[in-house]
Amino acid sequence: MSAVVTYWAEHAWLPHVNGPVVERDVLIAVGPGGRIAKVTPDSGPCPSGAIRLGGLVLPGHANAHSHAFHRALRGNVQVGSGTFWTWRDTMYRFAGALDPDSYLELATAVYAEMALAGITAVGEFHYLHHAPGGVRYDNPNAMGEALIEAALRAGIRITLLDTCYLSSGFGAEPTKPQLRFSDGDADSWAERISELKPAEHARIGAAVHSVRAVPAEQLGTVAHWAVMRKAPLHVHLSEQTAENDACLAAHGVTPTRLLGDHGVLGPRTSVVHATHLTDEDIHLLSDTSTVVCMCPTTERDLADGIGPARRLASSGCPITLGSDSHAVIDPFEEARALELDERLRTRTRGHWTANALLRASTEDGHASLGWSEAGRIEAGSLADFCAVALDTVRTAGPRPALGAEIAVFAASAADVRHVVVGGRHIVKDGVHQLVPDVPKALAEAIAALQ
From the CB of 181, what's the least distance to Zn ion, in Å?
A: 13
From 301-309, 320-328, 367-375, 434-442, span contacting Zn ion (CB under 5 A): 320-328
The rounded distance, in Å, linking the Cα atoms of 24 and 307 is 37
Q: How far apart are CA 137 and CA 98, in angstroms?
A: 13
According to the binding rule CB under 5 A, does residue 330 interact with Zn ion? Answer: no
49 Cβ contact partners less than 8 Å away, ≥ 6 residues apart? 6
CB of 299 or CB of 324, closer to Zn ion = 324
Q: Beta strands 424-428 and 61-66: pairing type?
A: unpaired
In angstroms, the CA 249 to CA 253 distance is 8
Contact window for Zn ion (CB under 5 A) among 87-95, 101-109, 244-252, 322-330 = 322-330
If we measure between CA atoms, which residue out of 355, 428, 362, 446 comes closest to residue 389?
Answer: 428
Collect all residues with Cβ–Cβ distance below 8 Å to 106 and sequence separation of at least 6.
68, 69, 71, 72, 98, 442, 445, 446, 448, 449
Is 65 an active-site residue? no
Per-residue binding letters, 367-396, with Zn ion (x by CB under 5 A): ------------------------------
- Strand, helix or coil at 168? coil
Nearest to Zn ion of 116, 237 (CB atom): 237
By beta-carbon proximity to Zn ion, the closer residue of 324 and 334 is 324
Catalytic residue among 273, 276, 366, 418: 273
Q: What is the CA radius of gyration of the chain?
A: 21
Give me the 234-273 binding string for Zn ion, x by CB under 5 A, dash otherwise: ----------------------------------------
* In the complex, least distance from residue 322 CB atom to Zn ion, rounded to whole angstroms: 8
Q: CB-wise, 23 or 301, nearer to Zn ion?
A: 301
Query: Which listed range, 54-62, 243-251, 302-310, 321-329, lies at the site for Zn ion (CB under 5 A)?
Result: 321-329
Comparing CB distances to Zn ion, the nearer of 10 and 324 is: 324
424-427-430 Cα angle (round to 5): 160
| Residue 304 sits in the site that holds Zn ion (CB under 5 A) | no
By CB under 5 A, which span of 164-172, 213-221, 246-254, 323-331 interacts with Zn ion? 323-331
Taking CB under 5 A as the criterion, the residue among 304, 324, 341, 384 binding Zn ion is 324
Length of the chain: 450
Closest CA to 232 of 368, 65, 373, 61: 368
Q: Residue 304 or residue 324: which is nearer to Zn ion going by CB? A: 324
Q: Residues binding Zn ion: what is the number (CB under 5 A)?
A: 1
Check if the beta carbon of residue 285 is closer than 8 Å to that of residue 270: no
Stretch that binds Zn ion, among 143-151, 317-325, 406-414, 429-437 (CB under 5 A): 317-325
Shortest Cβ 272–Zn ion spacing (Å): 6
Report how far residue 205's alpha carbon sits from residue 213's, in angstroms, rounded to the nearest whole number: 18
Q: Would you call 425 a catalytic residue per the annotation?
A: no
- Among 112, 110, 122, 119, CA closest to 71: 110
Which of 341, 360, 359, 361 is CA-nearest to residue 351?
341
**Please, which residue, 61 or 351, has the CB nearer to Zn ion?**
61
Q: Kindly name the residue from 281, 324, 341, 384 that is annotated as catalytic.
A: 324
Positions marked active-site:
273, 324
Which residues form the interface with Zn ion (CB under 5 A)? 324
